[in-house]
Structure 1
Amino acid sequence: MTETTAHASAPPAPPTLAAVPPGKVASIVTFLEMHAQPAPLPAPDAPHLSLRHVAAPETGWYRDLFRRIGEDWLWFSRLQMSEAELAAIIGSPDVEVYALSRTQPDGTSIDIGLVDVDFRTEGEAELAFFGLVAGETGSGAGRLMMNLATARAFARPIRRFFVHTCTHDLPAAVGFYRKSGFVPYGRAVEIVDDPRLDGTLRRTAAPHVPIIE
């Protein structure tokens, strides 16, 4: 038996497991990017939906929409920021915030989606946050939002538009981003304090991610 054959027939190495300490949560983060604006994909004709640029977002409004969209996917980062820190980010001229609104039967409207595009790194645009409240995914609303996001990103002279998602997020997220023109280029493991244990998020949030104390 040759050395090459012996190596080829050797059993695979056992998987490596890293323990996650109690009180923390771990996820696999996937990084995706695009370098040119793709053609917009068909979006639904939805006169009851409208996108607006929120030129001067109030922190209370932003936190409320951020929480309504992301609590069950363990979005927490901007809920833990101070008022000054959050206001400086979302009020920056290099951060564009858009809201998707739904017109109700009584004529009132409610915000159901968030698009947050960050240009603070020269030559780059990050899709910092992108999402819909529960019950709105799969309706085509996300396509309206993504068509806007890519158009806004490439309205400036950038080299790349990038986003990341993780295994705490909606399972369809990676497929949606790839269909939209993003290409995966990296992966990492992230371990953070569980935001449900310090009151940042409600304890019952994200039931698909068990709490281990």
Structure 2
Amino acid sequence: MLEPGFHEVPRGMVATIVTHLEMRQPANTGPVSNDWVFHRHHHASPDWYRSIFSNVGRDWLWFSRLHLSDDDLTAVIHHPDYELWTLRIDGVDLGLIELDHRTPDACELAFFGVTPQMVGKGAGRAMIQHAIARAFTRNISRFHVHTCTLDSPQALGFYIKAGFTPIKQEVEIAPDPRLTGYIERDAAPQIPVFA
């Protein structure tokens, strides 16, 4: 357990506060718009997946999937209890929804976000409605997600407004993916690099 006070983060690392949230029954998020097209990917290639993952998550230092081998990544995204969805506009994938049903009685919103050009256009609301509806098509008692202080500043409030309840926080320290080569060095300029 961390003691109260300041704790220095080693050089080459990034630190973040992670907030875990859950939903025990489907939230009423209002009328669902049919203006958005969602596409489910059953057999996505690792290269395609890494591209959409990076396009959505680069500004927030998403890196956890980028170091996986093709076999390890395929084992996740092709698992029968894993749903990989994209928001598709004019044939281009501009949003990512990942629903992980591999734990009995639960669903994790493993990854969720839009590409920079979709921020502020209402896509997030439509996507979370789709995610909630899909999660509760199975007999689950818990739909959960986590967000962190590296994510968009709006993320935590967005999840709470969508009906999730914060349940705990953690501190995470990880190697900075801009220094390990998983993400371009100029990504996420709002987060300082301490080499």
Matches within 5 A, 1:142-161: 142-161=124-143
Tell me how far apart the structure 2 counterparts of residues 44 and 158 of structure 1 sit (CA, whole Å): 25
Instruction: Tell me, yes or no, if the aligned pair for 1:69 and 1:133 is still in contact at 8 Å.
Output: yes
Q: Give the one of 9, 13, 21 matched to 2:10.
A: 21
Aligned residue pair count: 192
Using the alignment, how far apart are the partners of 2:96 and 2:124 within structure 1? 10
How do 1:86-125 and structure 2 match up within 5 A?
86-103=73-90, 109-125=91-107
Matches within 5 A, 1:33-52: 33-44=22-33, 46=35, 49-52=36-39
1: CA distance between counterparts of 2:134 and 2:194? 41
* 1:53 correspondence with 2:40: yes
Contact 1:44–1:141 (Cα < 8 Å) also in 2:
no
Question: In angstroms, what is the RMSD of aligned CA positions?
Answer: 1.1
For residue 157 of structure 2, give the secondary structure of its aligned residue in structure 1.
helix
Per-residue deviation, 1:68: 0.4
Distance 1:182 1:39 in 2: 11
Tell me the residue number matched to 2:52. 65
Q: What is the DSSP-based 3-state SS (H/G/I as helix, E as strand, rest coil) of the residue aligned with 1:80?
A: coil
- C-alpha displacement of 1:42: 3.7
Which 4+ residue blocks in structure 1 deviate beyond 2 angstroms? 40-46
Tell me what 1:8 maps to. Answer: none
**Matches of 2:159 and 2:132, distance apart in 1:** 11
Contact 1:43 1:140 in 2 (8 A): no
| SS at structure 2 position matched to 1:70 | helix
Task: Give how far 1:44 is off.
Answer: 4.9
Name which one, 1 or 2, has greater alpha-carbon Rg.
Answer: 1
- Determine what percentage of the aligned residue pairs are the same residue: 46
**Whole-Å separation in 2 of the counterparts to 1:40 and 1:166:** 23
- After TM superposition, the score normalised by the length of structure 1 is 0.87
Consecutive unaligned residues in structure 2, runs of 5 or more: none
Local SS of the residue matching 2:173: strand
